[in-house]
A and B are shown apart, each in its own frame.
Chain A
Amino acid sequence: MMKKYFILSGILALGLVSCEPELENSIEDEGFYSNGEADFSNYVALGNSLTAGYADGALYLSGQKNSYPSILAAKFALAQDTEEFMQPYVSDDFGGLLYSGQPIAATRYVLSVDANGNPMPVRYSATPTTEVTAKVEGPFNNMGVPGAKSYHLVAPGYGSVAGVAAGTANPYFARFASSESTTVLADALAQNPTFFTLWIGNNDVLGFATSGGAGEYQLNNTDFATYGENDITDPNAFAFVYDQIVQNLAANAEGVLINIPNVSSIPFFKVVPVNPIPLDAATAGALNAQFGAYNTMILPGLVQAGVITQAEADSRKITFSEGAGNFVTLVDEDLTPLASILMGEPFNLDAQTAGLLSQLRQANSGDLIPLTAASFIGTTVNNNPMLVNGVSVPLGDQYVLTSGEQEMIADATVKYNAAIAGVAQAYGLGMVDANALLDQLGNSGISMDGVSVNSTFVTGGAFSLDGVHLTPRGYAVIANAIISEINETYDASVPRANIGEYPTVTLDQGVQ
């Protein structure tokens, strides 16, 4: 009898062992996915805000958790044993920065419903809690530094806490730089990365673009020290610095380079139309009367005098009509300055009027209006109904990206991308055409995983509420493009992200 019990118990125990369900080909088994010729064991990402996971006008915790390097690292870990992916997390989900207790960066945008029931992006109402001077201990695999341009990655002191106050260093990098004098690249290399991604150069044109062209195209100027914040980096200088960065990274690692999207693909320039001004018949009539002499006498007179061409005269005509769809007026620094001429014979205009007309024109369909102008156009100066911004008061340089300025950006972008492609080839690295990808998001959009993603502001799913940076879902799209490139270039089989599972814009009423 005893023996029987034992046999029975044995059978039951056997049953137990086979009870935990195990899949025949579990993805947790080694060798299910392959890292191919790449080694993901220590992945380091370099870049700017896009790499850091910045979204909605701020760097905040859940944005960082959904950064594309973080998404990638999680997938890499399925293909190979990897080291833990470390990120320099900020302290909260509000976003914003403090420097010695003083706010120096604003909180994130959230989509908030206003009193009239309209959803609007508004800054979240909270005091930031991330203190720049409270350094976080690295090393960090995500070396994305919001605001960084190409040459900043090799700029000593870019992470100096003291330099932040002086305006020579970056507060985000200062939080986690290993020393006052180090560079982003040096801190990255110190980790001996086995694999890297590099997405840098966006800010080399983006600052100029989002400022409405309030900067210079530093063509043939290779002295970065002389560059202003909103300047476009010289393409040759970019190519030199870029090659220097990649040469260092690629010495002991494989990697993927990501190129620069056209700024025209971001919603930041698609939300506000160039002709958003509605006018009633009386106002349109009054404005036309105001500009009548300018259109019919002054401009032809200037052409006759040989001061401007007929083409410029045509571009400078100001006309309004009843109804919606009047183009804004603006000051275009590329037009011939006329103030002093207009103050002289035969026009004899007063200084104020001459100043107004000096570089005045109406926008045309080739111009782009930055999102930042949305809350400015149509407001009045000193509550004077005769002084309407964008109408009777022309928009300043920062509120219009003229076609001439767009050409400079496009020229630089093409040259940067040519440099990136050349470097990728020279070092045998993968390259992701983010430019084409974001164009696709801007045109037809991308459908996968049961969702359609496109660049439409607020509702498209790809771009966050600042109109420049991606949402977690948008970053997942980038991550998938990088995975595809890795799988192709390095003969790996890394699974991709399910973009439908990633958040888009955040709704919240926690605003003032």
Chain B
Amino acid sequence: MKRLFLLGLLILATASTYAGGYRVSLQGQRSLAMGHTGVAVVNNAELAFFNPAGLVYLENKINAAVGVSAVFSDVVWQNEQYGEFARTDSPVGTPFYAYFSYKLSDKFTLGFAAYTPYGSSVEWPTDWAGSHLINNIDLKAIYVQALASYKISDKLSVGAGPIYVNGSVNFNRNLSRNLTDLEGNRSNVTVEAKGVHAFGWSAGLMYSPIDSLRIGVNYRSEITMKAEDGSADFMNVPNSPLTPFNDTTFDAELPLPAELTVGLSYQLNEKWLFAFDYNRTFWDTYESLDLDFADPNIPDSKNPRNYKNSSIYRLGLQYTANETFQLRAGYYFDQSPVQSGYFAPETPRNDSNNFTGGLSINVTDKVAIDAAFLYSRFEEVDESYDYYQENGQNVSFGGTYKSSAFVPGLGVTIKI
């Protein structure tokens, strides 16, 4: 029976996405199944991500939750005026999480978390019409966090911990819309930075005014990833002193924005749990993606992004059918941080409606299997990126975009 279900999930492993920008909201199968709510839900060790204040309310001494998702996301683009068409063939993303908590005393719990809240993996056909903006990108960031959760009273708790981030990026685009070498091969550059690391923190608070109601607040700080001495590898550049593109190193900064979540959960009765989360992501820190090349002859690459702060509204339901099964469903509306005119094909996301579902199967008292899926529905959009410059002139690149995302995921919850 379980095998059948797993098989079903694997077969499904062939389709599409993400949250706005390069945020990937897949930090727990139970939470995801409920619309990725969780700031005020005490369910399992996923709290390490959603609200460390709640870890202290977990009943068992040791709690663990690990899982992985398979992100199938694709984008299709066309420009009617020129009859140009392209479809991404992006590799399957596999964001994961691993959370542990250990109850030291009734009032004090320690925790550990590793998760991947930011990432982007987009692969357009090489030399497609927008190849001067992007051919492909692979952006990864792993968060590792130590946590402490403290119960001030039976109604109120706090939790917090430092975050260590390790990330990498690999990005390729053509140098212009038309530069080629003698053989007509398009000139392009691959920039790569590995082992980029930085620190941040998160903190949360949970309050339960009555037994059936919990209220939560969680804040995760902004972390700026500074890539230093990354490699810039120029390919197919004409053999000429008029094109100064020799391999060099570069510095760049990419912000992983701060996120504030407030929410509540309400236990309607023994069977039904309702949750609502509101996320505010402070994307306005992402003004521009600038590459500062070490070689002074190579002009620095300025790519205005001008993201705006965005909100996500999340709803989730959990139904406890019996001792073995818990079923979940959810919905969230994800507002894109991308402003009109800044619609770059590296993260071509507009507002999305997201539908989630899933279940947990308690295999034993100690072990449960958690499964979830996410389907993101993006409206078709006519948009453009208007800030690419050629010979000092802005050249717009646009068309009709449509993206979709399908994310099945599996996890395990352990409580000892």
**Given the interface contacts A2-B1, A20-B15, A508-B240, does A498 sit within 8 Å of B8 by beta carbon?**
no
- Min C-beta distance of A59 to chain B, whole Å: 14
Q: Are B408 and A12 in contact (CB under 8 A)?
A: yes
Q: Are A23 and B76 in contact (CB under 8 A)?
A: yes
Mark A302-327 against chain B: 1 for CB-CB distance below 8 A, else 0. 00000000000000000000000000
Q: What residue in chain A is nearest B393 (Cβ atoms)?
A: A450
Q: Are A12 and B83 in contact (CB under 8 A)?
A: no
Q: Are B78 and A1 in contact (CB under 8 A)?
A: no
| Separation of A119 and B242 alpha carbons in the complex (Å) | 9
Q: Are B78 and A27 in contact (CB under 8 A)?
A: yes
Q: Are B85 and A27 in contact (CB under 8 A)?
A: yes
- Min C-beta distance of A218 to chain B, whole Å: 40
Q: Are A507 and B243 in contact (CB under 8 A)?
A: yes
B162-221 with Cβ < 8 A to chain A:
177-184
Chain B residues positioned under 8 Å from A446 (CB to CB): none
Chain A residues positioned under 8 Å from B35 (CB to CB): none
**Of B1, B78, B238, which contacts A507 at CB under 8 A?**
B238
B297 at interface, CB cutoff 8 A: no
Chain A residues positioned under 8 Å from B357 (CB to CB): 8, 11
Q: Are A113 and B241 in contact (CB under 8 A)?
A: yes
A135 at interface, CB cutoff 8 A: no
Q: Are A13 and B8 in contact (CB under 8 A)?
A: yes
- Which of B261-269, B339-347, B394-402 is near enough to bind chain A? B394-402
| Separation of A21 and B75 alpha carbons in the complex (Å) | 7
A454-512 with Cβ < 8 A to chain B:
473, 494-498, 500-504, 506-510
| Separation of A472 and B17 alpha carbons in the complex (Å) | 38
| Separation of A13 and B381 alpha carbons in the complex (Å) | 26
A111 at interface, CB cutoff 8 A: yes
A270 at interface, CB cutoff 8 A: no
**Given the interface contacts A497-B82, A508-B182, does A19 sit within 8 Å of B15 by beta carbon?**
yes
* Most-contacted residue by chain B among A18, A27, A494 (CB, 10 A): A27
Which bracket fits the contact residues of B?
A: 35 or more
Q: Are A113 and B129 in contact (CB under 8 A)?
A: no
A55-72 with Cβ < 8 A to chain B:
61-62, 65
**Given the interface contacts A20-B16, A450-B390, A503-B179, does A26 sit within 8 Å of B4 by beta carbon?**
no
**Of B12, B76, B238, B380, which contacts A12 at CB under 8 A?**
B12
**Given the interface contacts A21-B402, A450-B390, A501-B177, does A110 sit within 8 Å of B182 by beta carbon?**
yes
Q: Are B5 and A5 in contact (CB under 8 A)?
A: yes
Chain B residues positioned under 8 Å from A85 (CB to CB): none
| Separation of A504 and B238 alpha carbons in the complex (Å) | 13
Chain B residues positioned under 8 Å from A508 (CB to CB): 181-182, 238-240
Q: Are A33 and B83 in contact (CB under 8 A)?
A: yes
B9 at interface, CB cutoff 8 A: yes
Chain B residues positioned under 8 Å from A450 (CB to CB): 177, 390, 393-396
B255-290 with Cβ < 8 A to chain A:
none
Chain A residues positioned under 8 Å from B395 (CB to CB): 449-451, 500
Q: Are B83 and A495 in contact (CB under 8 A)?
A: yes
| Separation of A147 and B359 alpha carbons in the complex (Å) | 74
A283 at interface, CB cutoff 8 A: no
Which residues of A are at the interface with B, using a C-beta cutoff of 8 A?
1-2, 5, 8-9, 11-13, 15-16, 18-24, 26-28, 32-33, 61-62, 65, 75, 78, 93, 110-113, 117, 119, 124, 449-451, 473, 494-498, 500-504, 506-510
Kindly list the 4 A-B residue pairs having the minimum CB-CB distance in the complex, ordered from nearest.
A62-B184, A495-B83, A19-B15, A450-B395
